[in-house]
């Protein structure tokens, strides 16, 4: 599986958009980009995933660059409850072994 690189931490003001970057420069053509988050002492929560097109759901938007070497998770209006560690994972669809990296600790501040 391709490795991912994420900044260890980010701050965001409540109500503003949070843009979380992920580099996956060795991603192969059949690997998807998944995003999960883990709120303290809970199991990870699925957010969104995509292959090459941008994706949006009720939680977030996923922007994947044209060369697919990086992506950005966008939380459009961050709230205090969005404070969590966000993980970007790339893997082949239907081969579900997740290897978690260190993730990005997002701190949403009032």
- Rounded to the nearest whole angstrom, what is the least distance from the CB of residue 82 to other proteins in the complex? 17
CB atoms within 10 A of CB 56: 13
Q: Which of residues 49-88 bind other proteins (CB under 8 A)?
A: 49, 87
Please identify which residue in 8, 29, 41, 66 interacts with other proteins, judged by CB under 8 A: 41
Please identify which residue in 53, 66, 67, 96 interacts with other proteins, judged by CB under 8 A: 96
Question: Of 100, 54, 90, 75, whose CA–CA distance to 10 is shortest?
Answer: 75
As a whole number of angstroms, the distance between CA 61 and CA 27 comes to 20
If binding is defined by CB under 8 A, does position 107 make contact with other proteins? no
């Amino acid at each position: 599986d391709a490795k991912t690189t994420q900044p260890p931490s980010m701050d965001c003001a409540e109500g503003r958009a949070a843009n979380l970057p992920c580099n996956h420069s060795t991603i192969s053509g059949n690997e998807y980009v998944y995003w999960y988050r883990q709120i303290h002492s809970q199991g990870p929560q699925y957010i969104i995933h995509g292959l090459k097109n941008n994706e949006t759901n009720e939680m977030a938007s996923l922007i994947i660059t044209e060369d697919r070497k990086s992506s950005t998770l966008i939380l459009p209006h961050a709230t205090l409850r969005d404070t969590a560690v966000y993980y970007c994972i790339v893997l082949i669809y239907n081969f579900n072994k997740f290897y978690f990296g260190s993730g990005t600790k997002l701190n949403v501040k009032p």
